[in-house]
Amino acid sequence: MDVNYMLYQIRTDMWNALLAQWQTAITTPKYWGVVVTILITYIVWYHLTDKTRLASLLFYGSLITVMTSLADLYGTTAGLWYYKIRLLPLFTSVFLRDWTLIPLTYMLVQQYSSNWRQFFIYNAVGTFFLAGIVAPIFAALDIIQLMHWNYLYIFVVSYVIATLSRAAFHLVIQVQNAAREKKPSPLGSTLMHPAFKPLDEQKDDG
């Protein structure tokens, strides 16, 4: 039998199971507790974040989100852990963990880290909060179940992801700044060199 078709059938059966579980979960207080947690986290982050650096912080947070989502997808697919409560009937719990708690925490770490030395310290604090406090609470509340994984692994992987994301962030910023210095903006060039002559010169020509 075609292996791809077998995987398709497995995914179909998995979708039906996830959908049935989700339809039951949305009637429970625990599900709505997850929803409230997500909303409160975004509200707290919005009040703590530096609005003048919002675009750059969101860019850094996007890098964190992509790398975390890939790691989460691998972990759930490989059976290292699984989620018991999901906001949507998906294999991973992207909204609670990958798109909320982790990126918002690390965006605050990035905001208060003016250099790499500070980042290494604040990164350790933020990662301990996620791996040593949040993850055990989720496990105790039956939101996530660790199988072939532990909190030390969570700490190491999360710390590395945050560090690599910061390195990628600064690399992109350096490339952008170098490009701006070598090649002025087309809009700026147009404003500096108007297409029409000044009125005084037009009169002199006449």
Structural domain of residue 88, as residue ranges? 3-175
CB-count exposure of residue 49 (10 Å: 0-12, 13-18, 19+):
middle
Q: Considering the domain boundaries, does residue 121 fall inside one?
A: yes
CB 165 within 8 A of CB 64: yes
Question: 18 versus 64: which is more confidently predicted?
Answer: 64
Whole-number pLDDT of residue 204 = 52
Q: Considering the domain boundaries, does residue 200 fall inside one?
A: no
Q: Considering the domain boundaries, does residue 205 fall inside one?
A: no
Digit-coded pLDDT (tens) for 147-165: 999 999 999 999 999 999 9
Digit-coded pLDDT (tens) for 72-95: 999 999 999 999 888 888 877 778
Q: Considering the domain boundaries, does residue 68 fall inside one?
A: yes
- Count how many domains the chain has: 1
Dihedral angle computed from the Cα positions of residues 56, 58, 60 and 64, in that order, rounded to the nearest 10 degrees: 180
Residue 137: name the closest of 97, 92, 86 by CA.
97
Q: Considering the domain boundaries, does residue 86 fall inside one?
A: yes
Secondary structure class of 87 (helix, strand, coil): coil
Kindly state the DSSP code that residue 183 receives in the 8-state scheme: S
Q: Considering the domain boundaries, does residue 82 fall inside one?
A: yes
Digit-coded pLDDT (tens) for 165-189: 999 999 999 999 988 888 655 545 5
**pTM for the whole structure:** 0.82
